[in-house]
Amino acid sequence: MPISLNYSSKALAFFAGAIFLLVYWVIGYDGITFSDDVYYLIAGKKFWEGSMQINSHHFSSRWGAYGPAGFLGMVVGFDPHRVSLISGLSYVISLGLLIRILPKESNPILLSLWFCTQVFFLHFLTKVYPDSLLILWVSLIGFSAIYRQKQPIWAAFGIIAGLFIGFMTKETIVFLAPFPFFLALWDWKKSQFSMPFYGSVMGFGVLVLALYLGYFAWFYGDPLYRISSINAGHYISEYTYADKGMTAILRRITYLPILTFVERGYWLWLVMSIPGVLLAWKKGQNEGVVFSLLSGCLLLGFWLMSSTLAFYNPIYLNPRHLIILIPGLAFLIALGWNFWEENQSLKKLLLILFALGIGISLFQQDWKMAGFQLAIGTVLFWNKVQMKLPIIAILLLVPSLAAVRYQKTIKDYNGFMDSLEKNLEDSKNQTPILTHNFIHFSREVLVLEDTIKQKLLLPIEKLDSLKSHLPSEIRVFLYDYYKHAYPKEQEDVDRLEQFLLENYTQVEVRQEGLTNTRRFQKRN
């Protein structure tokens, strides 16, 4: 039976979800990723100090990513965990927007549950990444489109604001560029085409585009400067396809996305959103149509979009990039929940897709993912199971909470920071410290406002620069987390060990958790 819930139920669902996200933000923090987040943290700080400049690095024009983070850092202090609260605000506001527009016959608890439990979605709750902020702009675009008949001007403004600020945050928002066009086709077919709305979308869009391109034309002499910087930023790696031939591209745009969705835990969300999509098309439900089109545009973009306009290279399906799917999918899951429960043929379709996901996990020997899908499927589709919703909630929460323990075990970030600080606390000791490249890259975040200590950290990859003038004494600081996150640095570590064996004698060693500190003296 459909469930009718009042505003108090929506408030309960929102506050339950918001409190869970806040608690997860507190307990789930496992440190920086030693990667792109370092750039955004530093850029945000420089932006509000007035020293940040746009350059050929395409991250530098992502004002929407580092601007808000830097502002929050000014308010609460430049600490990576505190600054990541900007991601938490993005998530909480997005949840509020979605619950606000959820039809009264749908259960907001379901929306809150499915919004708050995807493992990768939660992982970046405590990080400073543009993908986390895109959650808000994607949600705003869907939210605004709901009101295109009642408040056409404001709805158009919300959509263009979401697209524009989203583009200044990260370019993947262009996946939603076709969204207004598909929505217009639907409205035209249903004789609901609103000229004030679509005229405003066109007007606001042209105005914003002219101002944006005009800015780069005036200050950089090229209206397409940002596009050029994105193309220039492309580089060949294990995650690119164009350099590996047509076979690699065909694999990427055929079955690899499906394998990724299963492996990274998105398959369950995709499958369970199908009833919401079918219900929307069957009944022409405004909310369902909007989020079906929105999610479809995102999926199409992920599946086929190129990472550069210079040639066709499908984007890498990084699980972080996929988190912006969650708002729309969670909304559709809540929308179609009653529909699939009452439709036996639809249940069979979902069962087949669950079986496919389980089969893929078994083929990949991913026993945990196979067991997770099997457990969820059993509870969902076995009629004898009572109290399904509480059991589903527990099953969804277990992996997200287990991920916290797993990340803290393999990373031990607090132990790493304690050990690093011990090595740097003696400012009189100017002995250089050879360490991982990713630690050196992150030095301005790890060691705040202390350039003397920052300069003591030398990257292993620059080892050759020491050979011409060997220091009489040297320290080595290694962090075992590299074996998990940066296994390719093993080559640099092996080269370092050979260098030390040939030129130095070890005089001190200290193992603390995942860190190893050694002191060496030059041989006579």
Supply the DSSP string of 186-248, one letter for each residue: HHHHTT---HHHHHHHHHHHHHHHHHHHHHHHHHHS-TTHHHHHHHHT----TT--GGG-HHH
CB 381 within 8 A of CB 273: no
**Mean of pLDDT values over 247-275:** 96
What's residue 242's pLDDT?
84
Retrieve residue 448's tokens.
């705040």
Residue 307 binned pLDDT confidence (cut-offs 50, 70, 90): confident
Q: How far apart are CA 334 and CA 356, in angstroms?
A: 23
Q: Which residues, including other chains, have CB under 8 Å from residue 507's CB and lie 6 or more apart?
A: 519, 520, 521
What's residue 427's pLDDT?
56
What's residue 379's pLDDT?
93
The runs of H, that is alpha helices, within 85-194 are: 85-101, 108-115, 119-123, 130-146, 152-169, 179-189
**Mean of pLDDT values over 19-27:** 97
Using only the alpha carbons of the chain, give its radius of gyration. Answer: 25
Residue with tokens 């396809």: 241
**Mean of pLDDT values over 31-36:** 95
CB 472 within 8 A of CB 506: no
CB 395 within 8 A of CB 402: no
Q: Which has more confidence, 432 or 111?
A: 111
**Mean of pLDDT values over 64-77:** 95
State pTM to two decimals: 0.94
Q: How far apart are CA 114 and CA 101, in angstroms?
A: 16
pLDDT in tens, 216-243: 899 888 888 888 777 776 667 777 898 8
Residue 428 binned pLDDT confidence (cut-offs 50, 70, 90): low
At CA 428, angle to CA 423 and CA 429, rounded to 5?
45
Q: Which has more confidence, 50 or 231?
A: 50
pLDDT in tens, 365-404: 999 999 999 999 999 988 776 788 899 999 999 999 999 9
What's residue 228's pLDDT?
79
Residue 4 binned pLDDT confidence (cut-offs 50, 70, 90): very low
CB 460 within 8 A of CB 502: no
pLDDT at 343 over 70: yes
Retrieve residue 290's tokens.
């909007």
What is the percent of the chain where pLDDT is above 90?
Answer: 80
**Coil, helix or strand for 113?**
helix
**Mean of pLDDT values over 110-134:** 97
What's residue 115's pLDDT?
98
**Mean of pLDDT values over 99-104:** 95
pLDDT at 511 over 90: yes
